[in-house]
């Protein structure tokens, strides 16, 4: 639908009328809001262990960088290039919030953010961002242990309110960001994921948990040297791994595997530190972005509600009423432009942190994902050299 109006002072009143009629017609075609298909988690307290769990229950967890497909509607609304860059950066920020939550629960062993699936982990968490803005977060989370057993395969959703964005989140030079006092607006969602993992662990006996750890060791050994260790594991028709034969406890080859695994864990600890630095550098700008996103969505929803209330304007044809409605439309466009500018500024703000993340680690090069793959290849070659397989 196109409207052609000559831009002359004599037509200003007619132009305003046409714009109001056009906006009203658009409002009548707006779809009825649809309730979310993923039930929100609500208020969730973190299931924390005040005493250290038994060693069999302290499984090591890898949280892989999330997948984050860009929604076409979001790209059109917020500006495709800038918004895609924010979504890409989220893939490394959101897993670290989950990582911190798991550590705070005191229910697990080492928890690390990783760029790839890791064969040395007892549990691997993967996530896909379904929706992410200042008002709502939707994640699809899958968790499998080293045997291939599914722990979680579930969608999570959480909503924010104005209380989740207190005045302290409007940062100014005199009101600096306080990371220690900050609570993520979607913390309930991360608490629920941890609690669901704890519940999944409780149905497993000590023998099954010990088997997970043992199979993790053998999976990593088979990744280092398939010829030497692939026979130690067998996979059933459902894809689940079990131990076929155990190497002797004093097997020198197994001792070398453990030495390599220790080196590998030292490397991924370094990788995790890089993700921590990115998280800390990104957090203030990201919090501001989310707060602004929340405000923008609230503004848009308020405008929609007013557009639906036709009776509010049908009884009055005064110039003041019409200009007020036009001003709301004009300010919504200004707000949208500011939102796009903020997205661009956000990406510029965290660009140095992304570059730092991808700097060389231990003489490696490329992105963090590429460095991780290079490191695994180096360890395989080193293991083959030390064991005389080259």
Tell me the pLDDT tens digit for each residue of 129-144. Answer: 998 888 899 999 999 9
> What percent of the chain clears pLDDT 90, i.e. is strictly above it?
31
> In sequence order, what DSSP letters do the residues of 38-83 get, joined into one string?
SPB--S------SSPPPGGG---EEEEPPB-PPPHHHHHHH-HHHH
68-72, 183-187, 290-294, range with greatest mean pLDDT: 183-187
Q: Who wins on pLDDT, 243 or 195?
A: 195
Average pLDDT over residues 214-242: 88
**225: confidence class by pLDDT, cuts 50, 70, 90:** confident
15-29, 202-216, 266-280, range with greatest mean pLDDT: 202-216
Q: Compute the mean pLDDT over every residue in the chain, rounded to the nearest whole number.
A: 75
51-55, 259-263, 384-388: range with lowest mean pLDDT: 384-388
Q: What is the pLDDT of residue 325?
A: 47
Given a cut of 80, whether residue 259 has pLDDT beyond it is yes
Q: Who wins on pLDDT, 180 or 352?
A: 180
71-75, 152-156, 180-184, 303-307, range with greatest mean pLDDT: 152-156
In the chain, count of helices (H) and strands (E)?
Answer: 10, 7
Q: What is the pLDDT of residue 5?
A: 42
Average pLDDT over residues 284-300: 78
Q: What is the pLDDT of residue 237?
A: 87
The helix (H) or strand (E) run that includes residue 293 is: helix 252-308
* The residue to which tokens 């076409």 are assigned: 72
Contacts of 284 (CB under 8 A, 6+ apart): 171, 177, 179
Q: What is the pLDDT of residue 170?
A: 62
Average pLDDT over residues 205-211: 93
Average pLDDT over residues 266-281: 86
> What percent of the chain clears pLDDT 70, i.e. is strictly above it?
65
Average pLDDT over residues 322-346: 47
Q: For Cα atoms 351, 356, 119, give the angle at the middle one, nearest 5 degrees.
A: 115
Q: Who wins on pLDDT, 61 or 361?
A: 61
344 is written with which tokens? 């661009």
> Which pLDDT tens digit goes with each residue over 47-105?
999 988 888 889 999 999 999 876 555 544 444 445 666 777 788 899 999 999 999 99
Q: Who wins on pLDDT, 225 or 65?
A: 65
Given a cut of 80, whether residue 308 has pLDDT beyond it is no
How far is 151 from 145, CA to CA, in rounded Å?
7
Q: How is residue 183 annotated by DSSP?
A: -
**353: confidence class by pLDDT, cuts 50, 70, 90:** very low
How far is 190 from 207, CA to CA, in rounded Å?
28
């Amino acid at each position: 639908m196109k409207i052609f109006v000559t831009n002359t002072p004599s037509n200003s009143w007619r132009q305003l009328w046409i714009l109001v009629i056009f906006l009203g017609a658009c409002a009548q075609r707006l779809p009825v809001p649809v309730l979310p298909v993923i039930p929100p988690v609500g208020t969730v307290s973190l299931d924390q262990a005040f005493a250290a769990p038994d060693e069999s229950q302290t499984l090591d967890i890898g949280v892989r960088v999330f997948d984050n497909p860009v929604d076409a509607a979001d790209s059109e609304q917020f500006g495709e290039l800038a918004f895609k860059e924010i979504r890409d950066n989220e893939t490394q920020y959101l897993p670290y919030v989950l990582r911190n939550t798991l550590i705070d629960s005191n229910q697990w062993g080492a928890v690390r953010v990783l760029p790839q699936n890791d064969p040395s982990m007892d549990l691997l968490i993967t996530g896909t961002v379904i929706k992410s803005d200042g008002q709502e977060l939707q994640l699809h989370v899958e968790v499998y242990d080293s045997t291939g057993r599914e722990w979680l395969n579930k969608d999570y959703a959480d909503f924010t309110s104005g209380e989740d964005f207190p005045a302290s989140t409007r940062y100014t030079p005199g009101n600096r960001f306080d990371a220690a006092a900050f609570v993520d607006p979607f913390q309930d969602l991360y608490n629920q994921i941890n609690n669901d993992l704890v519940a999944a662990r409780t149905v497993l006996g000590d023998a099954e948990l010990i088997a997970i750890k043992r199979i993790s060791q053998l999976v990593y050994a088979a990744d280092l040297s398939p010829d030497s260790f692939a026979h130690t594991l067998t996979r059933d028709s459902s894809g689940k791994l079990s131990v076929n034969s155990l190497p002797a406890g004093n097997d020198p080859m197994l001792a070398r595997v453990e030495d390599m695994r220790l080196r590998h864990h030292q490397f991924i600890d370094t990788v995790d530190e890089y993700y921590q630095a990115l998280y800390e550098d990104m957090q203030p700008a990201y919090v501001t972005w989310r707060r602004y996103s929340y405000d923008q969505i609230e503004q848009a929803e308020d405008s929609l509600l007013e557009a639906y209330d036709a009776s509010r304007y049908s009884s009055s044809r005064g110039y003041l009423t019409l200009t007020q409605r036009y001003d709301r439309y004009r300010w919504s466009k200004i707000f949208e432009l500011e939102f796009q500018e903020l997205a661009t500024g956000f990406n510029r703000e965290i660009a140095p942190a992304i570059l730092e993340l991808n700097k060389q680690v231990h003489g490696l090069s490329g992105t963090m994902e590429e460095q991780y793959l290079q490191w695994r290849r180096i360890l395989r070659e080193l293991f083959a050299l030390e064991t005389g397989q080259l």
